[in-house]
Structure 1
Amino acid sequence: MSKRYSYVPAGGGTNYEWSADHTFVKVSSADTGGHYTLMEDNLEANFKLGLHLHCYHAETFYILEGSVDFYIDGDWMTAALGTCLHVPPGVEHACIISEGCDAARMLMIYQPSGFDQYLEELVKFSDADFENNAKVAALNKKYDIVNVGPVPAR
């Protein structure tokens, strides 16, 4: 009989390491029947995520360590330890690790699920794939990621 729950120990979960962050999938799309994905994102000092939005997905961020500056719907704010931010569908947002912060860690809920599947496909991209604008655009469209531009100036 298969288990009707999932257990992910500290430091566990499918993980994706990038140049500026290391992400662990704690609750996958498969675990929730597509309802949401829960991930732990460990950010390095050079982390930044450009301005984007999701037409159908919401994102919720909960800061576990450090601080992250978020640009949401035209407003800049610093999210320190214990801060929770919810970004509904259609709202432009970007984030960057706070100045003077060497690292940060946050939980991210992506609802409905899919961001874990996006990372699963993205990690398979070659350098040539990343240079293929049509291929990148198709993947972003598949996972409801609408890139708007770079991190806005303060």
Structure 2
Amino acid sequence: MSYPEHLEYPEDRYHGDRGEVNAAFRPADSPPDISSPGGSTHYLATNASTGGEFGLYKVELGARSAGAKTHFHKAMSESFYILSGELELYNGEKWVTGRAGDFLYVPVGGLHAFKNVTDEPMTMLMIFSPGAPREEYFERVAEMTQRGGEELKQFRIRHDSYFVEDFAPGEE
């Protein structure tokens, strides 16, 4: 395969000549940042730690975990990479079964949802780009879901999560 001589890369953001020592390492045995009866979340790379470039989270969902209903994001894409188990993924058109090694990319504005319908736990990587401060969302979504109503809707909107169930046709 041949490649063009001039490739389009993003503008330089680092202007030094020798590089820096600034990598971050997270050992595999680090405990999850959030644990709940439905699973756990590991903050691998946050908005803060990547300077807003991306967010990377390892999510472990227990058996029969509800996941997230159909929604979209206005400011970021979301991707799913299945590490183990199975996950039902809604790609905006239909439900597909994701298994270890499967990947789903959802561009900005793309409808999507996910749930674990099996009797086994599953693990996935979730990637948001650009990065967003998702930690509060992960930490408070269960509490806010219990509150429900307008408070839940505003919490979701604050975190760039537009759930179809929150909007009547023509309301948005």
Band the TM-score falls in, shorter-chain normalisation: 0.7 to 0.9
Deviation readout 1:91-132 (Å, 9 max, x if unpaired): 111111143x41100011011222224235x27x867x9426
Structure number with larger C-alpha Rg: 2
Residues 25 and 39 in structure 1, CA contact (< 8 A), matched pair in contact too: yes
TM-score of the aligned structures, taking structure 2 as reference length = 0.74
Task: Let me know the Cα RMSD of the aligned residues.
Answer: 2.5
Report 1:5-154 matches (<5 A): 5-12=23-30, 15-48=33-66, 49-99=68-118, 101-114=119-132, 115-120=134-139, 122=140, 130-131=146-147, 133-149=149-165
TM-score of the aligned structures, taking structure 1 as reference length = 0.82
State the number of aligned residues: 145
CA distance in 2, matches of 1:8, 1:94: 28
Residues 65 and 117 in structure 2, CA contact (< 8 A), matched pair in contact too: no
- Percentage of pairs with the same residue: 26
The structural deviation recorded for 1:19 is: 2.7
**Consecutive unaligned residues in structure 2, runs of 5 or more:** 1-19, 166-172
Q: Relative contact order (alpha carbons < 8 A, sep ≥ 6): 1 or 2 greater?
A: 1
Between structures 1 and 2, the one with greater strand share: 1
Residues 70 and 78 in structure 1, CA contact (< 8 A), matched pair in contact too: yes
